[in-house]
Chain A
């Protein structure tokens, strides 16, 4: 291993080869222009070396046509690269609608993952091959960054809101997960493995592997996020107000995720994950029209993972 000189990382997602193609194109362009300039310098350096006979008469001061060429040509090339790279970017930042949602929580210095089937893992993430997978992530403390080099994607993981990374793994195997945003003393140990499995193996792994990871409560075992959410929901007595009937103290929750919500102020906001999270932890921030600010704030009362479960539960209500 020591004296192997790797040049390209493993390609293990549907996006990887697209990013690599752009990367190699840009190296081609870099080599072309660097060598062009190098060749020109070398040519002039030899031809016009002091002491060497050469035609030095009427040297040009400037040439507008030449200037125009080396403004327009690089600009055109730049715009092509811009368009190409932006197209890839849209793919990277827009998870397909059918993506299966996994959850990740970063904290100094570990990653906690949860699969839609309820499997909880630390620093390891098992996923099936060939499926669109979206990892929704948040941080319990500082900034982190969930980086999958083999999938050519990453996203910063922030406290106080959700970001996501998605990928569709194309090759079974074990690949690095790195934290790519400096997060303090053991930053370089905030690493993990993503284990891509054939769908059959993945199903087998789900049923066979011992449930839960050290540190999780027994109750958290193999519940799906929605089931866990329901448990948390009941534990905190949320159903008392959010029972869904008219005249209840809180709004009904079914159908809220993804909808437009009108607030007391008349402002309309989209009920995305960040909105739901805020409404749980800091409920007085945005009050739905027709309701009073009577809900307690749950900040510090509910863990980030339980908030994610609650959101999954709310989304599951039809």
Chain B
């Protein structure tokens, strides 16, 4: 962190962190930055919990035989899925980074509805704790997909309570999306036109649309599921006159767009990081911005690709397959634009940039292996195998979690006012990269060989690949644990960062670190495009500074 090391900065006296004191001032806050911190703490705890369940899965799969009993294993992978999807991946980037940054990036003093924002955190916590209490009482064994009629009629586990938790967390998503859309429309600073919005804001906007339009459908689905499970109303169970495939349509009508709720904000983070560390305006700004909207729209039309072998009509399968290939194009456009952004840049390799470059490679593999799954004749073989597990972990972990960590490392000095040790940051980024690939790449092969997902015992010929995967998971776990220590350490001992430690563009770097409660002392007036970097000038300045340093 260039400026930070010099010790030339002082901590600002009054910041959003110390403007008010006491636990009550946090729990009743309307400040979007404080709410982001509340989310950061709760989400990190849930992520750790999801990681514990992941460890149980990897330990079980180390050998072909049973280590845990079947019932416990089923509950562990269900809990892993539910915690990671609903309690971590969906809220992570929007509710932590989006909450903190969106108002600052557009020059606003807060979100449009601060109290609704606080409500969304409470809804998230209530829903999360209900789900957690279901786990403590014994858990759920349906898989995070809750397929019927197993979930409505056969499962002897806490389906209703878990569903209630997910139902309530859904409203947290809806309120956050609503707040972001309205804030982006109505609260931009003078001069902050749509074509000057940072791409992070564009991606949050697209994500918010998906949250607003998609989440009500999962709420309805959960209500129908409860109606059948609790009151015996025949909706999904054929014995009661229902249709089990209907549930899959409803579930994926939300849950596929939900994948874009997870990945779009990550793409926004990456656009910011690549621009800042290569000192270049993101290449093809408008293509990158509109590709987010294209993904959000097409993302609603591809849910049936989860149902190619479900008994869905073969002709419906063909339409869904074609649309799934089309939704891949805007993602490819982004990857090519990010790569080209590096051209003629002045590139430096601090921790966030390592995450950004890792993201591009892993997302490329995640996206391209998505084509395997969209390809009908191939999906018939690989669906419900470990190939699918590998594919979506490349997107969810290799892309979303990597982007989230990259973003946390990039904006950490802004959020806390302090930098962290670069050495440890880079080391953990590299461990995560290596551990991740070692964990999930073998699973592509495993899946093609035929190993079905959700198997707690498996034929012995699959063991070698499972051992590799578990070994990788151990490295990955160490990589994930390291930031917990050095980031907490940095809160007290990290170098004071100053307002703009990276020398980056964007309104968030024009205010103090940490910012004051209302973000800016005076409403900023925007006079330039986003990412108005000049790599040539920056490079010249760097070179001459280097010369002077030598003298």
Contacts and interface: CB of A to CB of B under 8 A. Distances in A.
A18 B377 contact: yes
B141 A1 contact: no
Interface in A147-197: 147, 149-150, 152-156, 158-161, 163, 176, 178-189
B340 A8 contact: no
Contacts of A141: 149, 154
Given A26-B375, A51-B546, A62-B285, A56 B380 contact: no
Nearest to B455: A188
A184 B375 CA distance: 29
B368 A33 contact: yes
Interface stretch (B5-13, B323-331, B408-416): B323-331
Given A153-B380, A156-B309, A163-B311, A59 B372 contact: no
Nearest to A158: B311
Nearest to B147: A143
Contacts of B374: 82, 85
A108 B374 CA distance: 30
A45 interface: yes
A1 B336 CA distance: 43
A178 B452 contact: yes
A56 B452 CA distance: 51
A9 B461 CA distance: 11
A125 B441 CA distance: 33
Contact of A78 (B155, B326, B347): B326
A186 B70 contact: yes
Q: How many interface residues does chain A have, given as a range?
A: 35 or more
A66 interface: yes
Given A22-B377, A33-B368, A178-B452, A5 B465 contact: yes
Interface string A37-50: 11011001100111
Interface stretch (B205-213, B260-268, B534-542): B534-542
Contacts of B458: 188
Interface string B364-396: 110011011011111111011100000000000
B376 A6 contact: no
B378 A88 contact: yes
A280 to B, nearest CB: 14
A70 B155 contact: no
Given A50-B347, A67-B284, A85 B310 contact: no
Contact of B345 (A56, A147, A152): A56
A49 B314 CA distance: 52
B226 interface: no
Contacts of B337: 67
A48 B343 contact: yes
Nearest to A26: B372
Contacts of B365: 30, 34
A145 B287 contact: no
A8 to B, nearest CB: 7
B449 A89 contact: no
Nearest to A150: B450
Interface in A185-239: 185-189
A29 interface: yes
A187 B332 contact: no
Interface of A: 1-9, 18-19, 22-23, 26, 29-30, 33-34, 37-38, 40-41, 44-45, 48-51, 53-57, 59-63, 66-67, 70-71, 74-75, 78-79, 81-82, 84-93, 108, 141-143, 145, 147, 149-150, 152-156, 158-161, 163, 176, 178-189
22 contacts: A2-B463, A9-B450, A19-B377, A34-B361, A37-B360, A44-B342, A48-B344, A54-B344, A60-B344, A71-B333, A78-B325, A82-B325, A141-B154, A143-B150, A154-B383, A156-B311, A158-B238, A158-B311, A176-B450, A181-B147, A182-B150, A189-B457
Given A23-B378, A62-B285, 20 more contacts: A5-B464, A6-B461, A34-B361, A37-B335, A45-B342, A50-B346, A59-B345, A61-B283, A67-B333, A70-B333, A78-B326, A78-B328, A78-B329, A86-B321, A145-B309, A153-B380, A154-B309, A161-B311, A182-B142, A188-B456
**In the complex, the 3 A-B pairs of residues with the closest C-beta atoms, listed nearest first:** A88-B377, A160-B238, A149-B450
Interface of B: 70-71, 74, 141-143, 145, 147-150, 153-155, 237-239, 244-245, 278-281, 283-287, 308-311, 314, 317-318, 321-322, 325-326, 328-329, 332-333, 335-337, 339-340, 342-349, 357, 360-361, 364-365, 368-369, 371-372, 374-381, 383-385, 445, 448-450, 452-461, 463-465, 535-536, 539, 542-543, 546
